[in-house]
Amino acid sequence: MKAVAAMFGVLGILFFLAYFGVVIVKGIQFDRGCEGYLKRAADANTVQMAKEQLAIAISYADEHNLTKGFTSVIYTTPDEDVGFWYNNLKASHAELSAVTEDTSQLEKTNILMKLRETLLDDGEKGTDVTIPSGISVFPNNMAYGIWGIFSGILALFGGLGLFIVMND
């Protein structure tokens, strides 16, 4: 019986660690494929550079079906609206594409400033890229939420079981 309890405890903890590992990897993949390019577009000094970086982020969003829906599971809030976020990126790209050689330097600077304000927010820890929370696991937020809760419960009871077995 002790062996079964110990095995259950170890498996519960491993399942919990696997959840966090996958969520971290998904976050890194989103950062490398989209969020990092949004930051670079916001930091760009020329319209062409901003347009190129924003195009990469939009391409990632298209490839990963990050074009509509909400990242929330139980109730929706405006800050979790993937469709608004995506359409905002597309509108910003269209505005950058409308710039010609005849566009004045002042207009170009204003467009870049507007883009920066669109892509970045001032957060508690400084400047953050504006993205819906939970987008790195979208559209599977429900599945990841269930996995996280289930694995957390398993880890809790598994850890408790290991504690009891080791102190028995």
Please say if the pLDDT value at position 119 is more than 80: yes
Please say if the pLDDT value at position 113 is more than 90: yes
pLDDT of 1 reads 63
Going by pLDDT thresholds of 50, 70 and 90, the confidence category of residue 8 is: confident
d(CA 6, CA 128): 43
Please say if the pLDDT value at position 108 is more than 80: yes
0.85 exceeded by the pTM?
Answer: yes
Encode 79-106: b = buried (16+ Cβ within 10 Å), e = exposed: ebbbeebbeebeebbeebeebeeeeeee
Return the SS3 of 120. Answer: strand
Please say if the pLDDT value at position 165 is more than 90: no
Per residue in 141-163, pLDDT (tens digit) is 999 999 999 988 888 887 777 77
Please say if the pLDDT value at position 93 is more than 70: yes
Please say if the pLDDT value at position 5 is more than 80: no
pLDDT above 90 as % of the chain: 73
Q: Where are the domains of the chain?
A: 2-166
Per residue in 23-78, pLDDT (tens digit) is 999 999 999 999 999 999 999 999 999 999 999 999 999 999 999 999 998 888 99
- Tokens 């800050």 appear where? 79
Please state, rounded to an integer, the average pLDDT across all residues of the chain: 91
